[in-house]
Amino acid sequence: MTHVVIPLYDGVTPLDFTGPYQLLHALPDMDIKLAAVDRQEVVADGLTFGALHDLERIETGDILLVPGGLGCIAALETPRFLAAIRRLAEDATYVTSVCTGSLILAAAGLLDGRRAACHWAFRDLLAAFGAIPDSARVVRDGNRITGGGVTAGMDFALSLIAELRGAEAAQGAQLLLEYAPAPPFDAGLPATAPHPVMKAVNARLSNALADAERRITLVAEQLRNAG
């Protein structure tokens, strides 16, 4: 049995964890726990996730999988949440994330000097915590495996499954879910998106990114002082 712990928080991006969850759930002998501090319901993009495990009462897990989302900044500012991440990472065989979940791992001191993936708009913020931003869709550095933005969680999960159970098991999960992406537009990366689209998305993210930069700078400074 492989035990997976997925910590949730308000403002998490649902696809960051539901995509990997669905692929991992396709395997036999997988115990996947969705958890939150005090078992509180989590609100994400208008969806409510309940019946969660108590994050602080989970003793251990083979895989720690931290999803991202705009709520990750508030999460990494929460001492209890960050302490639970650090504790669970100590005994985990794999410490992993999707999207801006890597910022949480980095804030917990788990990516110091390691390469890590993140959503393209927030990737450079990893450096504030001593991590090394990497633009690859899936990045492995030791037992740290991180996926890029949102949909990269599917590729991340397949890479993780191949690591756990072999390539055929990963291919079987991929076939079962008919994961054969063929997007109608080649606009999924800054390098390929048309300029007007890139400009519009940057404008949409500008306030959130500025707020994230300010708050992460404060958290990073506090952590340095505490250390």
Tokens of 149: 């933005």
Which tens digit of pLDDT belongs to each residue from 158-205? 999 999 999 999 999 999 999 999 999 999 999 999 999 999 999 999
Which tens digit of pLDDT belongs to each residue from 63-122? 999 999 999 999 999 999 999 999 999 999 999 999 999 999 999 999 999 999 999 999
Active site residue 118: no
CATH 3.40.50.460 for domain 2-183? no
Q: Catalytic pick from 72, 99, 131, 157?
A: 99
* pTM of the model as a whole: 0.98
Domain edges within the chain: 2-183
Q: Is the pLDDT of residue 227 over 80?
A: no
